[in-house]
């Protein structure tokens, strides 16, 4: 393996890891957001927001880090994907902006809270959905031509495939489930009981979508062969491993949904998030974007001209690794400051 190939593979894993952490941490913020308007008591809604309030800015950051990592390592993928998926990206950005805005407005606008809650819910729903569709579309294939650009003859609707739509639905269902387990972990009393009641149905729905994604991907929706000489080196190990982890997570959720251990369901929903990303990574590597026009046009990490040159990859590879380690340390430190159950108090005022 050449040093360049090493750093190209390294960056694939870093991007995957950042996106996993994003869906793992911000995933529960999104789930909490989706639940918000359906919680009846205003006091409980405040408690619910209090559970994510100090963290969600920091959580969302891993999504930015993931996107930034794509730009930093594979600018052609970054530019090609964003310009190709233009209208979807615009919708995603609208909801990404609306989420903090509705949150801030909710804090200050006592009378209009109902409106901001619904806006917060809608953004929390569409963010994982559009990201899921985009990720699914890179697996099922997008119309990339020989010059590594979205072929102008193809419409942006080609991002919609059975796999991409199911992936969007799976991202929503898993985020919702993850928000519910987080709520069980962070709250007590009626609110936690409400969350517990919804855990089993949500597990079943998430399970159905995850299973559907796996089946559609394996039955021809995604490319499991790749092309010589690299092929898909991780698929034979990664895919079965991901399926096993997903099964363990789903069974665990079913077994613990009515128990009295408040942290267990969260552990299992975290495993489920991890399994989804492991599956995506194992099916994809080394492909970043599969071309629906010809397998030769797929953007893989090793393809000439796709990645940045060695210096950029190496420099940021080392600096970013150290920085991320430091970030992890202080993030854990801050989580520990705010650990434990949350109620409707307003300490911050």
Partner 1 sequence: MDLALLLSRIQYGVSLGTHFIFPPTTLGLSLFILLAESFYMRTKKEVYRDLSSFAVRILTLVFALGVATGLTLPVTLGTNWAQFSKISGSVFGVQLAVEAVVAFTLESVFIGVLFFGRKKVKPMLYWWSTLLVFVGSHFSAFIIIAANSWMQTPAGVHYADGKLILDNWLAMNFNPSSLLRFFHTVAAAWLVGTFLLFAISAYFMYKGREQVAAAKMMTIAGTVALICSLALPILGHASVLEIEKYQPIKGAAMEGVYNSQTDAPLYALGWVDEKDQKVIGLPLPGMLSYFYDFNFNYKVRGLNELAPNPADRPPVQSEFQTFRVMVMVGSILIVVLVLGMIFHARGTLTRKKKSLIAIMICTPLPYIGVETGWITAEIGRQPWTIYPDPAIGFPGLRTADAVTQGLNPGYVLFSLIFFSLVYILIFVVFFRFLPTMVKKGITPPAETPEQVKGGQQ
Residues 286-315 that bind partner 1 (CB under 8 A): 308-309, 311-312, 315
CB contact at 8 A, 168 and 136: yes
Q: Which two tokens stand for residue 165?
A: 């739509």
Interface positions, 88-107, toward partner 1 (CB under 8 A): 89-91, 93-94, 96-101, 103-105
Provide, rounded to whole angstroms, the least separation between the CB of residue 110 and partner 1.
3
Q: Check residue 255 for interaction with partner 1 (CB under 8 A).
A: no
> How far from chain centre, in Å, is Cα 119?
20
Taking the least distance from each CB to partner 1, the nearer of 38 and 330 is 330
**From candidates 10, 54, 204, 227, binder to partner 1 by CB under 8 A:** 54
Taking the least distance from each CB to partner 1, the nearer of 122 and 247 is 122
Provide, rounded to whole angstroms, the least separation between the CB of residue 258 and partner 1.
31
**From candidates 3, 43, 193, 294, binder to partner 1 by CB under 8 A:** 43
Binding string to partner 1 for residues 124 to 163, with x set by CB under 8 A, is what? -------------------------x--x-----------
CB contact at 8 A, 66 and 77: no
DSSP 152-176: TTS-GGGG--HHHHHHHHHHHHHHH
* Three-state helix/strand/coil letters over 221-232: HCCCCCCCCCCC
Distances (CA, A) of 22 to 27, 58, 314: 7, 10, 23
Q: Check residue 347 for interaction with partner 1 (CB under 8 A).
A: yes
Provide, rounded to whole angstroms, the least separation between the CB of residue 179 and partner 1.
19
Largest CA distance in the chain: 63
Q: Which two tokens stand for residue 94?
A: 């609208």
Q: Which two tokens stand for residue 206?
A: 């998430």
Residues 6+ positions from 195 with CB-CB distance below 8 Å? 35, 180, 181, 183, 184, 187
Pure H helices in 187-263:
189-216, 235-256
Q: Check residue 118 for interaction with partner 1 (CB under 8 A).
A: no
Binding string to partner 1 for residues 202 to 221, with x set by CB under 8 A, is what? --------------------
Taking the least distance from each CB to partner 1, the nearer of 96 and 235 is 96
Of 117, 194, 128, residue with least CA distance to 202:
194
Taking the least distance from each CB to partner 1, the nearer of 103 and 171 is 103
Q: Check residue 13 for interaction with partner 1 (CB under 8 A).
A: no
Helix (H) or strand (E) segment spanning residue 78: helix 75-84
The site that binds partner 1 (CB under 8 A) totals a number of residues, namely 73
Taking the least distance from each CB to partner 1, the nearer of 251 and 334 is 334
Taking the least distance from each CB to partner 1, the nearer of 187 and 202 is 187
Q: Check residue 17 for interaction with partner 1 (CB under 8 A).
A: no
Burial class (CB in 10 A: 0-12, 13-18, 19+), 97: exposed
Q: Check residue 173 for interaction with partner 1 (CB under 8 A).
A: no
């Amino acid at each position: 393996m050449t040093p360049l190939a090493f750093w190209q593979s390294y960056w694939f894993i870093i991007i995957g890891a950042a996106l996993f952490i994003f869906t793992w941490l911000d995933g529960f913020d999104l789930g909490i957001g989706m639940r918000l308007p359906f919680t009846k008591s205003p006091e409980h809604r405040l408690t619910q927001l209090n559970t994510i309030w100090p963290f969600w800015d920091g959580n969302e950051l891993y999504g930015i880090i993931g996107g930034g990592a794509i730009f930093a390592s594979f600018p052609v993928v970054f530019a090609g994907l964003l310009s190709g998926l233009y209208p979807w990206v615009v919708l995603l950005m609208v909801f990404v902006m609306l989420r903090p805005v509705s949150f801030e407005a909710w804090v200050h606008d006592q009378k209009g809270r109902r409106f901001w809650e619904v806006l917060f819910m809608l953004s929390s729903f569409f963010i994982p959905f559009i990201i899921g569709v985009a990720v699914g579309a890179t697996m099922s294939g997008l119309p990339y031509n020989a010059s590594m650009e979205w072929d102008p003859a193809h419409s942006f609707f080609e991002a919609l495939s059975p796999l991409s739509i199911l992936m969007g639905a799976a991202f929503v269902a898993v985020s919702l489930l993850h928000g519910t387990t987080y709520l069980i972990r962070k709250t007590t009393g009626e609110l936690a009981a409400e969350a517990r009641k919804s855990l089993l149905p949500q597990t079943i729905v998430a399970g159905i979508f995850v299973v559907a994604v796996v089946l559609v991907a394996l039955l021809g929706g995604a490319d499991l062969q790749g092309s010589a000489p690299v092929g898909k080196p991780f698929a034979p190990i990664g895919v079965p491993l991901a399926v096993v982890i997903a099964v363990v997570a789903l069974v665990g959720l079913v077994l613990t949904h009515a128990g009295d251990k408040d942290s267990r369901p969260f552990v299992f929903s975290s495993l489920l998030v991890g399994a989804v990303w492991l599956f995506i990574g194992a099916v994809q590597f080394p492909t970043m974007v599969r071309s629906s026009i010809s397998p030769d046009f797929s953007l893989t990490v090793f393809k000439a001209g796709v990645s940045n040159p060695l210096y950029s990859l190496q420099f940021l590879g080392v600096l970013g690794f150290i920085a991320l380690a430091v970030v992890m340390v202080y993030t854990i430190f801050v989580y520990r400051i705010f650990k434990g159950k949350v109620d409707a108090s307003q300490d911050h005022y």
